[in-house]
Structure 1
Amino acid sequence: MTRRRRTILITLGITLGAAALAGGAAGAMGWWGGTAGGPGSPYGMMGPGMMGYGGMDHGMMGGWWSQPPVPGATPLSAEQVAERVRAILPRWGEPGLRVGHVMEFDNGFYVVVEGTDGKGAFELLVDRYGTWVHPEPGPNMMWNTRYGHMGAWQRTSDTPPVSAQEALRQAQGYLERWMPGTTVGELTEFPGYYTIDVTTGGRPSGMLSVNSYTGQVWYHTWHGAFLSETEADRDHS
Protein backbone atom coordinates (compact mmCIF):
# COMPACT_ATOMS: atom_id res chain seq x y z
CA MET A 1 0.00 0.00 0.00
CA THR A 2 1.38 3.39 -0.98
CA ARG A 3 1.91 6.18 1.53
CA ARG A 4 -0.68 8.32 -0.26
CA ARG A 5 -3.33 5.60 -0.03
CA ARG A 6 -2.59 4.99 3.65
CA THR A 7 -2.99 8.72 4.28
CA ILE A 8 -6.35 8.78 2.48
CA LEU A 9 -7.65 5.77 4.43
CA ILE A 10 -6.53 7.19 7.76
CA THR A 11 -8.14 10.54 6.97
CA LEU A 12 -11.36 8.83 5.89
CA GLY A 13 -11.42 6.76 9.08
CA ILE A 14 -11.01 9.85 11.25
CA THR A 15 -13.76 11.66 9.32
CA LEU A 16 -16.22 8.77 9.57
CA GLY A 17 -15.43 8.24 13.24
CA ALA A 18 -16.08 11.90 13.99
CA ALA A 19 -19.34 11.81 12.06
CA ALA A 20 -20.49 8.72 13.97
CA LEU A 21 -19.64 10.36 17.26
CA ALA A 22 -21.52 13.50 16.27
CA GLY A 23 -24.59 11.56 15.22
CA GLY A 24 -24.52 9.51 18.41
CA ALA A 25 -24.26 12.61 20.55
CA ALA A 26 -27.18 14.25 18.82
CA GLY A 27 -29.27 11.10 19.15
CA ALA A 28 -28.40 10.64 22.80
CA MET A 29 -30.05 13.88 23.84
CA GLY A 30 -32.73 13.99 21.17
CA TRP A 31 -33.37 16.12 18.09
CA TRP A 32 -36.56 17.82 17.05
CA GLY A 33 -36.63 19.26 13.58
CA GLY A 34 -39.17 20.98 11.37
CA THR A 35 -38.39 22.26 7.94
CA ALA A 36 -34.69 22.14 8.75
CA GLY A 37 -34.65 18.37 8.62
CA GLY A 38 -34.51 15.61 11.22
CA PRO A 39 -32.08 13.08 12.63
CA GLY A 40 -29.12 12.99 10.28
CA SER A 41 -29.52 16.62 9.25
CA PRO A 42 -26.29 18.64 9.09
CA TYR A 43 -27.77 20.73 11.89
CA GLY A 44 -27.34 17.66 14.13
CA MET A 45 -23.56 17.58 13.74
CA MET A 46 -21.03 19.06 16.10
CA GLY A 47 -17.39 19.92 15.88
CA PRO A 48 -14.74 19.01 18.47
CA GLY A 49 -13.89 22.47 19.76
CA MET A 50 -12.60 21.25 23.14
CA MET A 51 -9.65 23.03 24.61
CA GLY A 52 -7.70 23.31 27.79
CA TYR A 53 -7.09 26.51 29.67
CA GLY A 54 -5.11 28.79 27.42
CA GLY A 55 -6.43 27.20 24.22
CA MET A 56 -8.64 29.10 21.84
CA ASP A 57 -11.58 27.79 19.84
CA HIS A 58 -11.49 29.70 16.57
CA GLY A 59 -15.05 28.93 15.56
CA MET A 60 -15.18 25.42 14.14
CA MET A 61 -18.86 25.33 15.10
CA GLY A 62 -19.54 29.02 14.60
CA GLY A 63 -22.63 29.66 12.48
CA TRP A 64 -23.34 25.97 11.80
CA TRP A 65 -26.86 26.14 13.24
CA SER A 66 -28.09 29.48 11.90
CA GLN A 67 -30.40 29.34 8.91
CA PRO A 68 -31.57 31.81 6.25
CA PRO A 69 -35.02 33.15 7.20
CA VAL A 70 -38.04 31.57 5.62
CA PRO A 71 -39.55 34.14 3.22
CA GLY A 72 -42.26 36.06 5.06
CA ALA A 73 -41.59 34.33 8.39
CA THR A 74 -41.58 36.29 11.64
CA PRO A 75 -38.93 35.47 14.25
CA LEU A 76 -40.25 33.99 17.48
CA SER A 77 -40.30 35.85 20.77
CA ALA A 78 -38.48 34.45 23.80
CA GLU A 79 -41.84 33.44 25.33
CA GLN A 80 -42.85 31.55 22.17
CA VAL A 81 -39.51 29.73 22.28
CA ALA A 82 -40.10 28.84 25.93
CA GLU A 83 -43.54 27.44 25.04
CA ARG A 84 -42.04 25.23 22.34
CA VAL A 85 -39.44 23.89 24.72
CA ARG A 86 -42.04 23.25 27.45
CA ALA A 87 -44.03 21.22 24.93
CA ILE A 88 -41.15 18.80 24.32
CA LEU A 89 -39.73 18.47 27.85
CA PRO A 90 -42.07 15.53 28.70
CA ARG A 91 -40.14 13.48 26.10
CA TRP A 92 -37.29 13.21 28.61
CA GLY A 93 -39.63 11.30 30.94
CA GLU A 94 -38.38 13.28 33.91
CA PRO A 95 -40.96 15.27 35.91
CA GLY A 96 -40.02 18.72 37.09
CA LEU A 97 -37.88 19.91 34.19
CA ARG A 98 -38.57 23.56 33.39
CA VAL A 99 -37.30 26.39 31.27
CA GLY A 100 -34.86 28.43 33.36
CA HIS A 101 -33.96 31.29 31.07
CA VAL A 102 -33.88 32.11 27.39
CA MET A 103 -31.16 34.17 25.76
CA GLU A 104 -31.69 35.56 22.28
CA PHE A 105 -28.70 35.93 19.95
CA ASP A 106 -28.67 36.95 16.33
CA ASN A 107 -27.98 33.31 15.37
CA GLY A 108 -30.94 32.00 17.40
CA PHE A 109 -32.06 31.23 20.95
CA TYR A 110 -30.19 29.57 23.79
CA VAL A 111 -32.34 27.86 26.44
CA VAL A 112 -31.35 26.60 29.89
CA VAL A 113 -33.46 23.69 31.12
CA GLU A 114 -33.45 23.36 34.92
CA GLY A 115 -34.14 20.41 37.19
CA THR A 116 -36.20 20.36 40.36
CA ASP A 117 -33.15 21.47 42.36
CA GLY A 118 -33.02 24.75 40.45
CA LYS A 119 -29.67 23.87 38.87
CA GLY A 120 -29.12 23.54 35.16
CA ALA A 121 -29.97 20.15 33.65
CA PHE A 122 -29.01 20.71 30.00
CA GLU A 123 -28.88 23.36 27.28
CA LEU A 124 -30.88 23.66 24.07
CA LEU A 125 -30.72 25.75 20.92
CA VAL A 126 -33.79 26.89 18.97
CA ASP A 127 -33.59 28.58 15.60
CA ARG A 128 -35.12 32.03 15.29
CA TYR A 129 -38.18 30.75 13.40
CA GLY A 130 -38.92 27.72 15.56
CA THR A 131 -38.31 25.10 12.88
CA TRP A 132 -36.11 23.00 15.17
CA VAL A 133 -34.94 22.45 18.72
CA HIS A 134 -31.51 20.92 19.24
CA PRO A 135 -29.25 20.04 22.17
CA GLU A 136 -26.45 22.57 22.32
CA PRO A 137 -23.16 21.18 21.03
CA GLY A 138 -19.89 21.33 22.92
CA PRO A 139 -19.94 20.96 26.73
CA ASN A 140 -23.64 20.10 26.83
CA MET A 141 -22.99 16.95 24.80
CA MET A 142 -19.41 16.15 25.75
CA TRP A 143 -19.22 17.11 29.44
CA ASN A 144 -22.76 16.69 30.78
CA THR A 145 -22.45 13.68 33.08
CA ARG A 146 -26.19 13.03 33.27
CA TYR A 147 -27.73 14.02 29.95
CA GLY A 148 -24.76 14.14 27.59
CA HIS A 149 -23.40 11.51 25.25
CA MET A 150 -19.79 11.50 26.39
CA GLY A 151 -19.86 13.04 29.86
CA ALA A 152 -20.04 9.92 32.02
CA TRP A 153 -16.43 8.87 31.36
CA GLN A 154 -15.04 11.93 33.14
CA ARG A 155 -16.98 11.44 36.37
CA THR A 156 -14.39 10.45 38.97
CA SER A 157 -16.35 11.30 42.13
CA ASP A 158 -19.77 12.47 43.29
CA THR A 159 -18.29 15.84 44.21
CA PRO A 160 -16.48 17.52 41.29
CA PRO A 161 -13.16 19.01 42.41
CA VAL A 162 -13.67 22.33 40.61
CA SER A 163 -16.01 24.59 42.61
CA ALA A 164 -18.09 27.38 41.16
CA GLN A 165 -15.66 29.92 42.58
CA GLU A 166 -12.70 28.15 40.99
CA ALA A 167 -14.57 27.93 37.69
CA LEU A 168 -15.13 31.69 37.75
CA ARG A 169 -11.44 32.20 38.47
CA GLN A 170 -10.43 29.93 35.59
CA ALA A 171 -12.88 31.65 33.28
CA GLN A 172 -11.67 35.12 34.19
CA GLY A 173 -8.07 34.05 33.64
CA TYR A 174 -9.00 32.76 30.21
CA LEU A 175 -10.76 36.01 29.32
CA GLU A 176 -7.89 38.16 30.50
CA ARG A 177 -5.54 36.20 28.29
CA TRP A 178 -7.66 35.84 25.17
CA MET A 179 -10.41 38.46 25.35
CA PRO A 180 -9.14 41.53 27.24
CA GLY A 181 -11.90 43.89 28.31
CA THR A 182 -14.42 41.14 29.02
CA THR A 183 -15.37 39.74 32.42
CA VAL A 184 -17.30 36.80 33.82
CA GLY A 185 -21.01 37.18 34.55
CA GLU A 186 -23.77 34.85 35.74
CA LEU A 187 -22.82 31.22 36.37
CA THR A 188 -25.14 28.24 35.85
CA GLU A 189 -24.15 24.83 37.19
CA PHE A 190 -24.80 21.75 35.04
CA PRO A 191 -23.91 18.11 35.71
CA GLY A 192 -20.16 18.00 35.12
CA TYR A 193 -19.56 21.62 34.13
CA TYR A 194 -20.49 25.27 34.56
CA THR A 195 -21.64 27.68 31.89
CA ILE A 196 -20.72 31.31 32.52
CA ASP A 197 -21.88 34.46 30.78
CA VAL A 198 -19.16 36.64 29.28
CA THR A 199 -19.88 40.35 29.69
CA THR A 200 -18.59 43.47 27.99
CA GLY A 201 -19.35 46.77 29.70
CA GLY A 202 -21.73 45.01 32.06
CA ARG A 203 -23.80 43.49 29.23
CA PRO A 204 -23.72 39.82 28.14
CA SER A 205 -21.66 39.37 24.99
CA GLY A 206 -21.11 35.59 24.89
CA MET A 207 -20.55 32.59 27.12
CA LEU A 208 -18.08 29.88 27.98
CA SER A 209 -18.07 26.65 29.97
CA VAL A 210 -15.66 25.22 32.53
CA ASN A 211 -15.37 21.49 33.16
CA SER A 212 -16.00 20.81 36.87
CA TYR A 213 -13.63 17.80 36.87
CA THR A 214 -10.71 19.09 34.81
CA GLY A 215 -11.02 22.88 34.79
CA GLN A 216 -10.90 22.97 30.98
CA VAL A 217 -12.41 26.06 29.36
CA TRP A 218 -14.57 25.89 26.24
CA TYR A 219 -15.73 29.16 24.65
CA HIS A 220 -19.08 29.05 22.81
CA THR A 221 -18.42 30.47 19.35
CA TRP A 222 -21.74 29.70 17.72
CA HIS A 223 -24.27 32.12 19.28
CA GLY A 224 -23.51 35.40 17.56
CA ALA A 225 -24.33 38.81 19.04
CA PHE A 226 -26.42 38.96 22.22
CA LEU A 227 -29.85 40.58 21.91
CA SER A 228 -31.92 39.89 25.04
CA GLU A 229 -32.54 37.57 28.00
CA THR A 230 -35.78 36.36 29.63
CA GLU A 231 -36.27 34.42 32.88
CA ALA A 232 -39.00 32.18 31.53
CA ASP A 233 -40.57 29.80 34.08
CA ARG A 234 -39.09 31.72 37.00
CA ASP A 235 -41.43 34.52 35.99
CA HIS A 236 -44.38 32.12 35.96
CA SER A 237 -43.82 30.34 39.28
Structure 2
Amino acid sequence: MMWGYGPGMTFLPLVWIVLIGLIGWAVFLLIPSGAGSRVQRDTPEETLARRFAADEIDEDAYHRAREALALRHRASAARAALRGRRLPLTVLVLAVAALVASVVWVVGGVGGWRAVSPGQPAAPGYGMPMMPGNGGLPSQTAPAAVANFDDARRASDEFGQQRGLHTGEVMQFSNGYYAELLDPGGHGATEVLIDPASGAVFLEPGPAMMWNSAYGMMPAPVRGRPPTVTAEQAEQIADQWLAQNNTGLHATDPTAFPGYYTLHALRGDQIAGMLSVNARTGAVWYHSWHGQFIAMQDAPAHQS
Protein backbone atom coordinates (compact mmCIF):
# COMPACT_ATOMS: atom_id res chain seq x y z
CA MET A 1 0.00 0.00 0.00
CA MET A 2 1.51 3.33 -1.07
CA TRP A 3 0.17 6.83 -0.58
CA GLY A 4 0.91 9.73 -2.90
CA TYR A 5 3.11 12.57 -1.73
CA GLY A 6 1.47 15.44 0.13
CA PRO A 7 -2.32 15.28 0.53
CA GLY A 8 -2.34 11.49 0.81
CA MET A 9 -0.22 11.69 3.92
CA THR A 10 -3.04 13.43 5.78
CA PHE A 11 -4.92 10.12 5.77
CA LEU A 12 -2.15 8.23 7.52
CA PRO A 13 -3.26 9.10 11.09
CA LEU A 14 -6.79 7.94 10.26
CA VAL A 15 -5.44 4.74 8.70
CA TRP A 16 -3.32 4.09 11.80
CA ILE A 17 -6.30 4.66 14.10
CA VAL A 18 -8.36 2.15 12.09
CA LEU A 19 -5.54 -0.39 12.09
CA ILE A 20 -4.95 -0.02 15.83
CA GLY A 21 -8.68 -0.41 16.41
CA LEU A 22 -8.74 -3.61 14.37
CA ILE A 23 -5.74 -4.94 16.28
CA GLY A 24 -7.46 -4.22 19.60
CA TRP A 25 -10.69 -5.89 18.43
CA ALA A 26 -8.82 -9.01 17.29
CA VAL A 27 -6.80 -9.25 20.49
CA PHE A 28 -9.98 -8.90 22.56
CA LEU A 29 -11.60 -11.80 20.71
CA LEU A 30 -8.50 -13.95 20.95
CA ILE A 31 -8.15 -13.57 24.73
CA PRO A 32 -10.04 -16.39 26.44
CA SER A 33 -13.08 -15.06 28.26
CA GLY A 34 -14.03 -16.12 31.75
CA ALA A 35 -16.83 -18.48 32.41
CA GLY A 36 -20.09 -16.58 32.20
CA SER A 37 -23.55 -17.49 33.22
CA ARG A 38 -25.15 -20.26 31.27
CA VAL A 39 -28.45 -22.07 31.23
CA GLN A 40 -28.29 -25.08 33.52
CA ARG A 41 -29.21 -28.25 31.71
CA ASP A 42 -28.12 -31.84 31.67
CA THR A 43 -24.99 -32.58 29.73
CA PRO A 44 -24.64 -35.82 27.75
CA GLU A 45 -22.30 -37.05 30.47
CA GLU A 46 -24.88 -36.35 33.18
CA THR A 47 -27.58 -38.09 31.17
CA LEU A 48 -25.28 -41.06 30.64
CA ALA A 49 -24.46 -41.23 34.37
CA ARG A 50 -28.13 -41.11 35.28
CA ARG A 51 -28.96 -43.94 32.93
CA PHE A 52 -26.07 -46.02 34.33
CA ALA A 53 -27.25 -45.36 37.90
CA ALA A 54 -30.76 -46.49 36.91
CA ASP A 55 -29.33 -49.72 35.45
CA GLU A 56 -30.54 -48.77 31.98
CA ILE A 57 -27.06 -49.58 30.59
CA ASP A 58 -24.33 -51.87 31.84
CA GLU A 59 -20.83 -50.86 32.89
CA ASP A 60 -19.13 -51.73 29.61
CA ALA A 61 -21.64 -49.73 27.58
CA TYR A 62 -21.27 -46.84 30.03
CA HIS A 63 -17.46 -46.64 29.61
CA ARG A 64 -17.63 -47.00 25.83
CA ALA A 65 -20.17 -44.20 25.65
CA ARG A 66 -18.01 -41.94 27.88
CA GLU A 67 -14.99 -42.49 25.63
CA ALA A 68 -17.04 -41.72 22.53
CA LEU A 69 -18.39 -38.53 24.15
CA ALA A 70 -14.89 -37.44 25.12
CA LEU A 71 -13.60 -37.89 21.57
CA ARG A 72 -16.57 -36.03 20.15
CA HIS A 73 -16.13 -33.14 22.59
CA ARG A 74 -12.45 -32.78 21.78
CA ALA A 75 -13.14 -32.69 18.03
CA SER A 76 -15.99 -30.21 18.46
CA ALA A 77 -13.90 -27.98 20.71
CA ALA A 78 -11.05 -27.95 18.19
CA ARG A 79 -13.41 -27.03 15.33
CA ALA A 80 -15.11 -24.33 17.39
CA ALA A 81 -11.80 -22.86 18.47
CA LEU A 82 -10.57 -22.79 14.89
CA ARG A 83 -13.76 -21.15 13.63
CA GLY A 84 -13.81 -18.66 16.47
CA ARG A 85 -10.15 -17.66 16.17
CA ARG A 86 -9.64 -17.72 12.42
CA LEU A 87 -11.20 -14.33 11.59
CA PRO A 88 -9.66 -12.31 14.45
CA LEU A 89 -6.30 -14.00 13.93
CA THR A 90 -6.36 -13.16 10.21
CA VAL A 91 -7.38 -9.57 10.94
CA LEU A 92 -4.66 -9.28 13.58
CA VAL A 93 -1.91 -10.51 11.23
CA LEU A 94 -3.02 -8.29 8.33
CA ALA A 95 -3.54 -5.20 10.49
CA VAL A 96 -0.16 -5.55 12.20
CA ALA A 97 1.54 -6.09 8.84
CA ALA A 98 -0.16 -3.02 7.34
CA LEU A 99 0.67 -0.90 10.38
CA VAL A 100 4.32 -1.93 10.37
CA ALA A 101 4.61 -1.42 6.61
CA SER A 102 3.10 2.08 6.75
CA VAL A 103 5.29 3.13 9.68
CA VAL A 104 8.42 1.79 7.98
CA TRP A 105 7.47 3.62 4.79
CA VAL A 106 7.01 6.91 6.64
CA VAL A 107 10.24 6.50 8.56
CA GLY A 108 11.84 6.16 5.16
CA GLY A 109 14.53 3.61 5.42
CA VAL A 110 15.96 3.94 8.93
CA GLY A 111 18.23 0.95 9.33
CA GLY A 112 18.49 0.42 5.59
CA TRP A 113 15.05 -1.04 4.84
CA ARG A 114 15.43 0.28 1.30
CA ALA A 115 18.66 -1.63 0.84
CA VAL A 116 17.81 -2.95 -2.60
CA SER A 117 20.23 -4.23 -5.16
CA PRO A 118 21.71 -1.81 -7.71
CA GLY A 119 20.62 -2.38 -11.27
CA GLN A 120 17.21 -3.68 -10.25
CA PRO A 121 14.97 -3.70 -13.35
CA ALA A 122 12.31 -1.02 -13.49
CA ALA A 123 9.59 -0.05 -15.89
CA PRO A 124 10.62 2.44 -18.59
CA GLY A 125 10.05 6.03 -17.60
CA TYR A 126 9.46 7.54 -14.20
CA GLY A 127 5.69 7.72 -14.59
CA MET A 128 3.30 10.40 -13.43
CA PRO A 129 4.31 13.15 -11.01
CA MET A 130 3.45 13.04 -7.34
CA MET A 131 1.74 16.17 -6.12
CA PRO A 132 3.52 17.94 -3.29
CA GLY A 133 1.79 18.83 -0.07
CA ASN A 134 2.33 21.59 2.48
CA GLY A 135 5.95 22.64 2.56
CA GLY A 136 6.72 20.78 -0.65
CA LEU A 137 7.71 22.13 -4.03
CA PRO A 138 5.07 23.20 -6.54
CA SER A 139 4.31 20.88 -9.40
CA GLN A 140 5.42 21.76 -12.88
CA THR A 141 2.81 23.33 -15.15
CA ALA A 142 2.28 22.57 -18.85
CA PRO A 143 4.94 19.87 -19.20
CA ALA A 144 6.35 18.99 -22.62
CA ALA A 145 8.37 16.03 -23.83
CA VAL A 146 12.06 16.09 -22.87
CA ALA A 147 14.51 15.19 -25.64
CA ASN A 148 17.88 16.32 -24.27
CA PHE A 149 19.73 17.86 -21.33
CA ASP A 150 18.64 21.39 -22.21
CA ASP A 151 14.98 20.35 -22.11
CA ALA A 152 15.50 18.52 -18.81
CA ARG A 153 17.29 21.50 -17.23
CA ARG A 154 14.60 23.90 -18.44
CA ALA A 155 11.83 21.71 -17.01
CA SER A 156 13.69 21.33 -13.71
CA ASP A 157 14.25 25.10 -13.45
CA GLU A 158 10.55 25.75 -14.05
CA PHE A 159 9.71 23.29 -11.29
CA GLY A 160 11.94 24.94 -8.69
CA GLN A 161 11.72 28.60 -9.61
CA GLN A 162 8.77 29.35 -7.28
CA ARG A 163 11.06 28.48 -4.36
CA GLY A 164 14.03 30.38 -5.72
CA LEU A 165 15.85 27.17 -6.64
CA HIS A 166 17.83 26.42 -9.77
CA THR A 167 19.12 23.27 -11.38
CA GLY A 168 22.57 21.93 -10.70
CA GLU A 169 23.75 18.54 -11.87
CA VAL A 170 21.53 16.70 -14.38
CA MET A 171 21.90 12.98 -15.08
CA GLN A 172 20.31 10.86 -17.78
CA PHE A 173 19.30 7.28 -17.02
CA SER A 174 17.43 4.72 -19.05
CA ASN A 175 14.26 5.52 -17.10
CA GLY A 176 14.52 9.30 -17.43
CA TYR A 177 16.37 12.33 -16.14
CA TYR A 178 17.48 13.18 -12.61
CA ALA A 179 18.31 16.71 -11.47
CA GLU A 180 19.49 18.30 -8.25
CA LEU A 181 17.94 21.60 -7.26
CA LEU A 182 20.20 24.14 -5.56
CA ASP A 183 19.40 27.13 -3.38
CA PRO A 184 20.63 30.64 -4.29
CA GLY A 185 23.88 29.94 -2.47
CA GLY A 186 24.55 26.86 -4.59
CA HIS A 187 23.83 24.38 -1.80
CA GLY A 188 21.79 21.23 -2.36
CA ALA A 189 18.07 21.80 -1.75
CA THR A 190 16.34 18.69 -3.12
CA GLU A 191 16.24 16.24 -6.02
CA VAL A 192 13.72 15.79 -8.83
CA LEU A 193 12.99 13.37 -11.63
CA ILE A 194 11.94 14.32 -15.16
CA ASP A 195 9.89 11.91 -17.21
CA PRO A 196 11.16 12.14 -20.81
CA ALA A 197 7.88 11.12 -22.46
CA SER A 198 5.60 13.59 -20.70
CA GLY A 199 8.13 16.13 -19.40
CA ALA A 200 6.52 15.88 -15.97
CA VAL A 201 8.80 16.89 -13.08
CA PHE A 202 8.32 15.66 -9.53
CA LEU A 203 10.20 15.17 -6.31
CA GLU A 204 12.33 12.07 -6.38
CA PRO A 205 10.90 9.25 -4.25
CA GLY A 206 12.90 8.04 -1.30
CA PRO A 207 15.27 10.44 0.48
CA ALA A 208 14.03 13.63 -1.25
CA MET A 209 10.55 12.93 0.06
CA MET A 210 11.18 11.07 3.29
CA TRP A 211 14.47 12.48 4.62
CA ASN A 212 14.60 16.03 3.28
CA SER A 213 14.02 18.27 6.28
CA ALA A 214 13.32 21.41 4.24
CA TYR A 215 11.41 20.32 1.13
CA GLY A 216 10.20 16.83 2.00
CA MET A 217 7.66 15.32 4.36
CA MET A 218 9.71 15.40 7.54
CA PRO A 219 7.57 16.23 10.61
CA ALA A 220 8.15 19.65 12.12
CA PRO A 221 10.09 18.41 15.21
CA VAL A 222 12.73 16.88 12.93
CA ARG A 223 13.30 19.97 10.84
CA GLY A 224 16.30 22.04 11.73
CA ARG A 225 18.10 19.32 13.65
CA PRO A 226 21.83 19.45 12.94
CA PRO A 227 23.38 16.50 11.10
CA THR A 228 25.37 13.99 13.12
CA VAL A 229 26.96 12.38 10.06
CA THR A 230 29.60 14.31 8.10
CA ALA A 231 30.09 14.08 4.35
CA GLU A 232 33.24 12.02 4.86
CA GLN A 233 31.41 9.65 7.19
CA ALA A 234 28.53 9.39 4.71
CA GLU A 235 30.97 8.29 2.01
CA GLN A 236 32.45 5.68 4.35
CA ILE A 237 28.98 4.41 5.29
CA ALA A 238 27.94 4.22 1.63
CA ASP A 239 31.14 2.35 0.72
CA GLN A 240 30.58 -0.10 3.54
CA TRP A 241 26.98 -0.71 2.47
CA LEU A 242 28.00 -1.28 -1.14
CA ALA A 243 30.71 -3.72 -0.03
CA GLN A 244 28.36 -5.62 2.29
CA ASN A 245 25.83 -6.02 -0.49
CA ASN A 246 28.45 -7.32 -2.93
CA THR A 247 27.66 -4.72 -5.55
CA GLY A 248 31.18 -4.27 -6.88
CA LEU A 249 30.61 -0.52 -6.59
CA HIS A 250 32.14 2.24 -4.48
CA ALA A 251 30.75 5.62 -3.44
CA THR A 252 32.06 9.09 -4.13
CA ASP A 253 31.12 12.77 -4.48
CA PRO A 254 28.66 13.27 -1.57
CA THR A 255 26.28 16.18 -2.08
CA ALA A 256 24.64 17.52 1.07
CA PHE A 257 20.89 18.05 1.07
CA PRO A 258 18.79 19.03 4.11
CA GLY A 259 18.83 15.90 6.27
CA TYR A 260 20.87 13.59 4.03
CA TYR A 261 23.64 13.14 1.47
CA THR A 262 23.40 11.73 -2.04
CA LEU A 263 26.43 10.05 -3.60
CA HIS A 264 27.41 8.56 -6.93
CA ALA A 265 27.96 4.81 -7.02
CA LEU A 266 30.86 3.98 -9.33
CA ARG A 267 32.03 0.81 -11.00
CA GLY A 268 35.67 1.56 -11.55
CA ASP A 269 35.59 5.19 -12.63
CA GLN A 270 32.17 5.02 -14.32
CA ILE A 271 28.89 6.02 -12.68
CA ALA A 272 26.59 3.04 -12.22
CA GLY A 273 23.94 4.45 -9.88
CA MET A 274 23.22 6.61 -6.85
CA LEU A 275 22.56 6.16 -3.15
CA SER A 276 21.79 8.37 -0.17
CA VAL A 277 22.85 8.38 3.48
CA ASN A 278 20.69 9.85 6.25
CA ALA A 279 22.58 12.69 7.95
CA ARG A 280 21.24 11.79 11.41
CA THR A 281 20.87 8.01 11.45
CA GLY A 282 23.38 6.86 8.84
CA ALA A 283 20.69 4.76 7.10
CA VAL A 284 21.38 3.95 3.45
CA TRP A 285 18.83 4.21 0.65
CA TYR A 286 19.89 2.97 -2.81
CA HIS A 287 18.18 4.71 -5.74
CA SER A 288 16.85 1.61 -7.50
CA TRP A 289 14.43 3.40 -9.80
CA HIS A 290 16.80 5.05 -12.31
CA GLY A 291 17.77 2.16 -14.54
CA GLN A 292 21.06 2.28 -16.41
CA PHE A 293 23.22 5.41 -16.29
CA ILE A 294 23.70 7.11 -19.68
CA ALA A 295 25.31 10.54 -19.25
CA MET A 296 25.70 13.51 -16.92
CA GLN A 297 25.77 17.28 -17.29
CA ASP A 298 27.36 19.34 -14.51
CA ALA A 299 25.86 22.56 -13.23
CA PRO A 300 26.70 25.64 -15.33
CA ALA A 301 29.70 27.48 -13.87
CA HIS A 302 27.76 30.67 -13.20
CA GLN A 303 25.22 28.77 -11.02
CA SER A 304 27.56 26.76 -8.82
Q: Above 0.5 in TM-score?
A: yes
Task: Name the structure where helix makes up a greater proportion of residues.
Answer: 2
Which of structures 1 and 2 has the bigger CA Rg?
2
1:192 aligns with 2:259: yes
- Of 179-188 and 222-231, more deviation after overlay is shown by 179-188
Residue 11 of structure 1: which of 94, 117, 123 is its match?
Answer: 94
> What does residue 86 of structure 1 align with?
157
Query: What runs of 5+ residues in structure 2 fail to find an aligned partner?
Result: 1-28, 30-83, 128-143
> What does residue 108 of structure 1 align with?
176
Relative to the length of structure 1, the TM-score reads 0.72
> What does residue 144 of structure 1 align with?
212
Superposed CA RMSD in Å reads 3.5
Greater relative contact order structure (CA < 8 Å, 6+ sep): 1
- Indicate how the Cα distance of structure 1 residues 5 and 125 shifts in structure 2: closer, same or farther if over 3 A, else same: farther
Letter of the structure 1 residue corresponding to residue 153 of structure 2:
A
Matches of 1:137 and 1:180, distance apart in 2: 22
Matches of 1:167 and 1:104, distance apart in 2: 24
* Alpha-carbon shift at residue 65 of structure 1 (Å): 7.2
**Aligned ranges 1:1-237 → 2 under 5 Å:** 3-6=85-88, 7-8=90-91, 11=94, 50-52=109-111, 56-57=115-116, 63=122, 66=125, 76-91=147-162, 94-95=163-164, 97-150=165-218, 152-155=220-223, 157=225, 159-234=226-301
2:216 partner SS: coil
Number of aligned pairs? 204
Query: What runs of 5+ residues in structure 1 fail to find an aligned partner?
Result: 22-45
1:218 partner SS: strand
* Alpha-carbon shift at residue 17 of structure 1 (Å): 9.8
Letter of the structure 2 residue corresponding to residue 89 of structure 1:
G
Cα deviation, 1:88-110, whole Å, max 9, x if unaligned, reads 3233xx32x11001100001111
Cα deviation, 1:201-223, whole Å, max 9, x if unaligned, reads 20110011001111111111111
- Indicate how the Cα distance of structure 1 residues 212 and 82 shifts in structure 2: closer, same or farther if over 3 A, else same: same
Matches of 1:9 and 1:18, distance apart in 2: 14
Q: Share of identical aligned residues, percent?
A: 34
Letter of the structure 2 residue corresponding to residue 121 of structure 1:
A
Matches of 1:218 and 1:147, distance apart in 2: 18
Letter of the structure 2 residue corresponding to residue 199 of structure 1:
L
